[in-house]
A = this chain, B = another copy of it.
Amino acid sequence: MIVNNNIKEIQSLMKDIKKQGKTIGIVPTMGALHAGHMSLVKKAKENCDFIFVSVFVNPTQFGEGEDFDKYPRTLQADLDKCEEEGVDLVFTPTNEIMYGEGYSTYIEALNISQILEGAVRPIHFRGVCTVCTKLFNISMADYGFFGQKDYQQVAVLKKMVRELNAPIELVMCPIIRDTDNLALSSRNVYLSPEERARALFINQGLFAAKEAFDKGEKDINVLRKILTDTILKGKPDHVDYIDIFDRNTLEKAKDVNNAVILIAAKYGSTRLIDNMEL
């Protein structure tokens, strides 16, 4: 496994890989790798010849007062997991390498990136779009693998790729849940046992609404009530949104066709997101 952070060297290598007719898959991560990330790596391996993983806690997607400084960094463990899973290359740049002196180029995907997560975290998707474009260019990947857990992120990035005609196809992979059904997240380590117990009502709400839907309940207001009532039993310390949205526009859904439940709430100071398509 190659571990490198020299962009010119990597681009030269990736050019060679492409000349050999191999397909390249990228799994962009901020490290603190868990089974969710590794499921993306596995999916990439099923579909591509060369697996490129990036480990970079991207400063431009964190706003003031967010958890950039305390975000878990576990590089050696991450490298071990990548090696074990048969990753071909891990790119581990510093901030200086990614954003040198006087850096000023940013990509904005307006509209869809300004609601929900974008409303709470105004510069978040600008940072995500910018870093992903850089990573796509550095890896020269044919396919990019992203987790459904960050549902809006996938929607924003797919729109960006389509609109900029970027020569890459993005693949959304299922959410991986822990044994207690909490969606895996690098931020789960912040939760106290008491907070985690309350947070478990998130997936209970998701599953309850989905179950009702599958059993024939198509009234969106009834489903909203099941969802919200269940989650509020966990007494979240703050709710950003618990609602049902249109999968394409991420606007509030008027009916259950093509709908997705999206949730963002805080337990203690830890902000969790989760979702489920109906």
Residues of A at the B interface (CB closer than 8 Å) are 7, 11, 15, 18-19, 21, 100, 102-112, 129-130, 133-134, 137-138, 140, 159-160, 163-167
- Asked if A163 contacts B133 (CB within 8 A), the reply is no
Q: List, in ascending order, chain B residues with CB within 8 A of A164's CB.
A: 105, 107, 130, 133-134, 137
- Asked if B167 contacts A137 (CB within 8 A), the reply is yes
Q: Of the candidates B11, B108, B140, which one forms a contact with A105 in the assembled complex, judged by CB atoms under 8 Å apart?
A: B108
Q: List, in ascending order, chain B residues with CB within 8 A of A133's CB.
A: 164
Q: Of the candidates B105, B108, B165, which one forms a contact with A163 in the assembled complex, judged by CB atoms under 8 Å apart?
A: B105
CA distance A3 to B218 in the complex (A): 50
Q: List, in ascending order, chain B residues with CB within 8 A of A21's CB.
A: 19
- Asked if B167 contacts A140 (CB within 8 A), the reply is yes
CA distance A128 to B19 in the complex (A): 31
Q: List, in ascending order, chain B residues with CB within 8 A of A138's CB.
A: 165
CA distance A61 to B95 in the complex (A): 31
Copies assembled:
2
Q: List, in ascending order, chain B residues with CB within 8 A of A134's CB.
A: 164-165
- Asked if A137 contacts B165 (CB within 8 A), the reply is yes
- Asked if A106 contacts B110 (CB within 8 A), the reply is yes
A126 to chain B: closest residue by CB: B108
- Asked if B105 contacts A165 (CB within 8 A), the reply is no
A104-B167 contact, Cβ under 8 Å, with A19-B21, A21-B19 = no
Jot down 28 A-B pairs with beta carbons below 8 A, ordered by A. Answer: A11-B167, A15-B167, A18-B18, A19-B21, A100-B163, A103-B163, A104-B108, A104-B110, A104-B111, A104-B112, A104-B159, A104-B163, A105-B107, A105-B108, A105-B109, A105-B160, A105-B164, A106-B107, A106-B108, A106-B110, A107-B107, A107-B108, A107-B164, A108-B108, A133-B164, A134-B164, A134-B165, A137-B167
A248 to chain B: closest residue by CB: B102
Query: In the complex, given contacts A102-B111, A105-B108, A105-B129, what are 7 additional A-B residue pairs having Cβ atoms less than 8 angstroms apart?
Result: A7-B165, A11-B165, A104-B110, A105-B107, A106-B107, A107-B164, A137-B164
Q: List, in ascending order, chain B residues with CB within 8 A of A103's CB.
A: 163
CA distance A108 to B102 in the complex (A): 14
CA distance A165 to B12 in the complex (A): 12
Say how far A119's CB is from chain B's closest CB, in angstroms: 16
A249 to chain B: closest residue by CB: B102
Say how far A118's CB is from chain B's closest CB, in angstroms: 12
Q: List, in ascending order, chain B residues with CB within 8 A of A102's CB.
A: 111
Say how far A123's CB is from chain B's closest CB, in angstroms: 13
